[in-house]
Chains A and B, each alone.
Chain A
Amino acid sequence: MYKYDSYDQAMVETRVEEFRDQTRRRLEGKLSEEQFRPLRLMNGLYLQLHAYMLRVAIPYGTLNSAQMHALADIAEKYDRGYGHFTTRQNIQYNWIKLEEAPDLLADLAKVEMHAIQTSGNCIRNISSDHFAGAAADELIDPRPYAELLRQWSSFHPEFSFLPRKFKIAVIASETDRAAMKLHDIGIQIVKNDAGEIGARFYVGGGMGRTPMIAPPIRDFVPLDQLITYSEACLRVYNRYGRRDNKYKARIKILVHELGADEYTRQVEQEFAHLLEQGVEPPLAELERIKPYFADPAFETGLPTEIDRSDPDFALWADQNTHPHKAPGYVSAVISLKPVGGIPGDASTEQMHLMAELSKEYSFDESRVTHTQNIVLPHVRIADLHALWTRLDAAGLGSPNLDTIEDIIACPGLDYCSLANARSIPLAQQISKRFAETGKTRELGELKLKISGCINACGHHHAGHIGILGVDKKGVENYQLLLGGSEAQDTSLAKITGRGFDEAGIISAVETVTDIYLDKREEGERFLDTYRRIGMDPFKEALYGE
C-alpha cells in the first residue's frame, strides 16, 4: 500500500502543528468559536451530541497493521475504548477532548494518517471497492488512481471552499461495491473496444434529502487525463453550484437543474481548455505510486478447498468470503455486526486483534468497507479455519455478510446532533429478532439500511429495505422504504406509507420479509421480488390498503 514520501509527511506534520497553535489560541480566548469552528472542522473535529467527535480519513479504506494498531491505541488513550467505522470507510471517535486533539493528530501522523478534509465543503476522503487489488472480477486495481486523486484533492486551493462537500468513489469492476453512482463523482475504470483502459465518469449522484443517481457523462476518459477531467467537473460545479441555499448546493442539484447534457457540454468545454493548461500530474507520479499497490507475493499450488467438517466454520466461510484473483486465496470479511451489537463499532481489543490477524494472514493489510465491516483482502484458504477460530473467540465471527443482520446504521440520535431519531437500537432489535426466528438464512441477500435523519448517512435510500427516522412532534417515528440498491443496479427506495413507532417498525420489517418469502420465485432476492411484484402487496400487508 501507499507510503508517504517526505512531502506527504511534512504536510501532515505541519498541519498538526498549525492546529495545535489554533487550539491553543482558542483555549486562551484569542479565537472565538465562530473563528475556530471552520478550523477544527477542516481537521475533522465536530462538536456532537455528547462531546467532540473526530473523523479520521482512511484513504480508499486501506490500512496496514501499524495503522490499525494506532487506531486501537487512540481509542484507548483519547476515547473510551472503541471506535466507529463509517459508511465512507473512515473511523470516528465519539469522546474526544479538544485540549487533547492536537496530540491525537500527532499520533495519527506517526502512522501516516490524518483527519484533514473529513469535514467542510471540500473534496472528502476518496473511497473505493473494499476488494480492490484482490477481487477476481476486477479489471485493474483502482487504488493507484484513487491515490492520485487523493494527492490532487488534498489542499487543492481552488476546491477548498466549494458550494458544498464533495465525495468521489473509484471502482474497476462491473460489480459496484462502493455505491459509486450515489457519489458526487463516480469513476469506473473500464476497457474500451480498442482494449484500452480508461475511466467512465458518473456525475451528480448522492443521497441526503434529495437522492439522485448519477448519470454517466462520459464513457471513456484516457487515464492520463483523469485528473484534468475531474478538475473540469469540479470547476463547472465550483463556478455554478448554488451557494445561497445549502439544501440545493450539492452538484446533484446543479446537474439536475442544468440537465446532464448541458452540464456535460460545459465540462467538455472546460476540459478542452484545461488540456491546454497542462494541469495533469506528470506520468512519472502515477508510475511512482503504482508499485506501492503491486500484488503481494502470492504463493502458488495452494489448496483451494476448505475442510467442511466444522459446520459453524463452513457457514462462515461460505457467507463471509469473496473470490480472489489468486488461486488458493480469498478475501475474508470480518463482520462488525454481532447479533444485538452496534453496527460498525470495534473495541480497542478487537482492533488490535484485527491488526494482528491482518499481519499474520493478509500481507499486513486490511480494508474498511462502506457497509461498516473489515476485510482481510488476501487470506490463504488453508488459513481460513485458524483465522475464523480467533475471530469467533473475540466476537468477530458472525456469519452474516449481506444478510438482514448485516445492517448499515448511522450513529443516529444516540450520538449525532443532527439526528431526529435513534438508528442503532433498531439495528440491534432487528438483528436479534431475525436471529431468534432463524429467518436470516432463509431470507438470503437482504440489505437493510437505517438513517436517523434525512441526511441519509445510513444510506436508507439505497436499502433493499430502508428505514428513515423522523421527529413527529418530539417523538421518534420511522418511515419504511423498499426497493433501493447501491450496487451496479442502483435504484432509490420508495416510502411505503405512513410511519411507525419503534415497536411498529420492527414488526413492519418482519411483515415485508414475510411477503417476500410468500411471493418469491426461484432464485429471487428480496429486491428482485419487490421489483417484480411492486409495492402494492407490501402496502396491503402493512396497512390493509
Chain B
Amino acid sequence: MNILTGNNLESGAVVWWDGTGWSLYVDDAVDVGDRADEIIAREQSARRVNSAYVLDASRDEKGVRPAHIKDRVRALGPTVRPDLTLKPKDATAMDWVI
C-alpha cells in the first residue's frame, strides 16, 4: 500500500495521512493509491503538513508497517529512548521497528 507521511508545520511532529487529516499514529494511515501527489500538494498548500512524501507499507493484523527501517523509526520514535516514543509504557512497542 502507498501511505503518506510528513511533519506538522508548527510542531514538527511526524504525522500520517488518515484519509481526512493527519494522525500521529501510523496505524491510522490509509492507502492513497495513486492520489499521493494531489493530496500532498493540497495539504502542503494549506500548511497542514511539511515535507510530505509517499512510501511503501503493508498492513497486517497488528497494524500498518512501513517497508523501510527509516520510516519505521519515524513511526514510533528513537529506538534508544523508549520513554520518548509514542508508546513509552509498551515494552513490546519496538519489536516491529527493527
- Chain A positions near chain B (C-beta within 8 angstroms): 26-27, 29, 33, 47, 49-52, 80, 95-99, 342, 413-415, 417, 419, 422, 424-425, 428, 474-476
Q: Are B44 and A33 in contact (CB under 8 A)?
A: yes
Q: Are B12 and A98 in contact (CB under 8 A)?
A: yes
Q: What are 8 of the A-B contact pairs (CB < 8 Å)?
A: A50-B74, A97-B11, A97-B12, A98-B11, A474-B67, A474-B68, A475-B69, A476-B69
**A414-B80, A425-B80 known; A97+B10 contact, CB < 8 A:** yes
- Once bound together, how far apart are the Cα atoms of A47 and B77, in whole Å? 15
Is there contact, CB below 8 Å, between B80 and A51?
no
Indicate if the CB atoms of B84 and A428 lie closer than 8 Å. no
Known A27-B9, A27-B47, A413-B70; contact A425-B79, beta-carbon cutoff 8 A: yes
Cβ-defined contact, B69 with A413, below 8 A: yes
B residues adjacent to A (C-beta < 8 A): 7, 9-14, 44, 47, 50-51, 67-70, 73-74, 77-81, 84
B12: chain A residues within 8 A (beta carbon)? 47, 50-52, 95-98
Whole-angstrom distance between the alpha carbons of A148 and B91 in the complex? 52
State how many angstroms separate the Cβ of B78 from the closest Cβ of chain A.
4
CB contacts (< 8 Å) of B13 on chain A: these are 50-51
Separation of A52 and B68 alpha carbons in the complex (Å):
21
How many angstroms from the CA of A476 to the CA of B97 in the assembled complex?
Answer: 12
Tally the A-B contacts, defined by beta carbons under 8 Å.
67
Inter-chain contacts of A99 with B (CB < 8 A): 10-11
Specify the main secondary structure of chain B where it touches its partner: loop
Is the CB–CB distance between B10 and A98 below 8 Å? yes
Which of these, B9, B68, B80, contacts A342 with CB under 8 Å?
B80
Contact B80 A50 (CB under 8 A): no
By secondary structure, the A interface counts as: mixed
A29 to B47: give the CA distance in the assembly, Å: 7
Not counting A29-B47, A50-B14, A51-B11, a sample of 9 additional A-B residue pairs whose C-beta atoms are within 8 angstroms of each other reads A27-B9, A49-B73, A49-B74, A50-B13, A95-B12, A413-B69, A417-B70, A428-B80, A475-B69
Contacts of A95 in B (CB 8 A): 12, 84
Closest-by-CB residue of A relative to B76 is A50
Across-interface contacts of A98 in B (CB, < 8 A): 9-12
Interface centre among A27, A95, A98 (most CB of B within 10 A): A98
Complex: chain B residue closest to A52, CB-CB:
B12
Shortest CB distance A43–B (Å):
15
Q: Please, which residues of chain A bring their CB within 8 A of the CB of B77?
A: 50
Cα A414 to Cα B9 in complex, Å, equals: 21
Q: A432 CB to closest chain B CB, in angstroms?
A: 13
Cβ contact within 8 Å between A51 and B7: yes
For residue B72, give the distance in angstroms from its CB to the closest CB of chain A: 10
A290 to chain B, nearest CB (A): 42
- With a CB–CB cut-off of 8 A, which chain A residues contact B68? 474
Beta-carbon nearest neighbor of B70 in chain A: A413
User: Which A residues lie within 8 Å of B11 (CB)?
Assistant: 51, 97-99
Query: A49 CA to B69 CA in the complex, in Å?
Result: 12
In the complex, A99 Cα to B50 Cα: how many Å? Answer: 14
In angstroms, Cα B11 to Cα A95, docked, is: 9
Known A-B contacts A27-B47, A52-B12; the reply to A422 vs B79 at CB < 8 A is yes
Bound form: Cα–Cα A51–B74 in Å? 10
Which of A50, A80, A474 has most chain B Cβ within 10 Å? A50
Using CB atoms, name the residue of chain A closest to B71.
A49
User: Which residues in B have their C-beta under 8 angstroms from that of A476?
Assistant: 69
Which residues does chain B contribute within 8 Å of A474, judged by CB atoms? 67-69
A414/B10 in contact, CB under 8 A: no
Q: Once the chains are docked, how many angstroms separate the CA of A52 from the CA of B14? A: 10
**Chain A residues, Cβ within 8 Å of B74:** 49-50
Query: Do A414 and B73 touch (CB < 8 A)?
Result: yes
Q: How far apart are A304's CB and chain B's nearest CB, in angstroms?
A: 42
Q: Are B78 and A414 in contact (CB under 8 A)?
A: yes
What is the CB-to-nearest-CB distance from A372 to chain B, in angstroms, rounded to a whole number?
15
Whole-angstrom CA separation of A47 from B51 in the bound complex: 9
In the complex, chain B residues whose CB is within 8 Å of the CB of A97: 10-12
Q: How far is the CA of A378 from the CA of B9 in the complex (A)?
A: 45
| Closest CB pairs A-B (n = 8) | A51-B12, A52-B12, A414-B78, A424-B80, A99-B10, A97-B11, A414-B80, A29-B47
